[in-house]
């Protein structure tokens, strides 16, 4: 049976794993604040969801695994149309199903599997290109700002470590600054990952619409 399987791109999955490793190392080093534990738990849940995500399409149904034990199924006969924008969406009467991380080859295989009766709904080329470029710029700015904030907070937290001048203020200020640093790091990893996803998709679509530019 023909089928297409896709997951989040490798940079996004690697970033999620790295975040979990950093939090685990921080917790194993000693006592941490309740705020750090809460953020670590939230980051763990988000990372597990990213790593567990798996979209599978065959000739009978679409299966989207959002979490380890939660899979949503939609019959192919219930899919009414496709929408091509920042990513590819399958539209059903009760759901709009995104398929992240589709490569050019995977898209071609997907179109071979899906029924030909489906209507492809897409904005005009110029509007679609402008929308994709705007989304890329938005996530680029997010990655840049969160990256700069991460570097600044990382530099500021160093004096609070043991043996440095402000270590006596670690419990009152330093540990919270470290928590903020980790939050900015998580944000920069995911913003960079989604920037890469959108840029890759736009490049492949532009290659189809304007083959002479490749």
β-bridge mates for residue 6, sequence order: 55
Q: In the chain, what are the domain boundaries?
A: 3-213
Helix, strand, coil share (%) of the chain residues, nearest 5: 60, 20, 20
Which pLDDT band holds residue 29 (cuts at 50, 70, 90)?
low
Spatial separation of the C-alpha atoms in residues 21 and 173, rounded to whole Å: 24
Closest CA to 188 of 124, 129, 145, 153: 145
pLDDT digits (tens, 9 = 90+) for 80-107: 887 776 677 888 877 778 787 777 777 7
Spatial separation of the C-alpha atoms in residues 202 and 152, rounded to whole Å: 32
More confident residue, 16 or 126: 16
For residue 125, which phi and psi values (nearest 5 degrees)?
-55, -45
The pTM score is 0.57
Which pLDDT band holds residue 210 (cuts at 50, 70, 90)?
low
pLDDT digits (tens, 9 = 90+) for 163-197: 788 888 777 788 788 878 878 888 888 788 778 77
């Amino acid at each position: 049976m023909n089928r297409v399987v896709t997951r989040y791109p490798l940079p996004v999955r690697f970033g999620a794993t790295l975040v979990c490793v950093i939090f685990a190392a921080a917790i194993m080093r000693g006592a941490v604040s309740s705020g750090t534990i809460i953020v670590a738990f939230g980051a763990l849940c988000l990372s597990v969801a990213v790593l567990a995500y798996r979209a599978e399409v065959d000739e009978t149904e679409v299966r989207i695994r959002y979490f380890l034990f939660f899979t949503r199924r939609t019959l192919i006969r219930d899919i009414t149309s496709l929408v091509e924008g920042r990513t590819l969406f399958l539209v059903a009467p009760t759901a709009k199903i995104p398929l992240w991380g589709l490569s050019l080859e995977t898209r071609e295989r997907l179109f071979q599997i899906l029924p030909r009766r489906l209507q492809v709904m897409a904005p005009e080329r110029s509007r679609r290109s402008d929308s994709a470029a705007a989304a890329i710029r938005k996530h680029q700015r997010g990655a840049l700002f969160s990256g700069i904030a991460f570097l600044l907070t990382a530099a500021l937290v160093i004096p609070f470590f043991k043996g440095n001048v402000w270590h006596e203020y670690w419990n009152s200020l330093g540990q919270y600054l470290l928590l903020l640093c980790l939050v900015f790091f998580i944000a920069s990893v995911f913003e960079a990952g989604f920037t890469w996803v959108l840029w890759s998709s736009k490049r492949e679509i532009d290659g189809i619409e304007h083959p002479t530019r490749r």
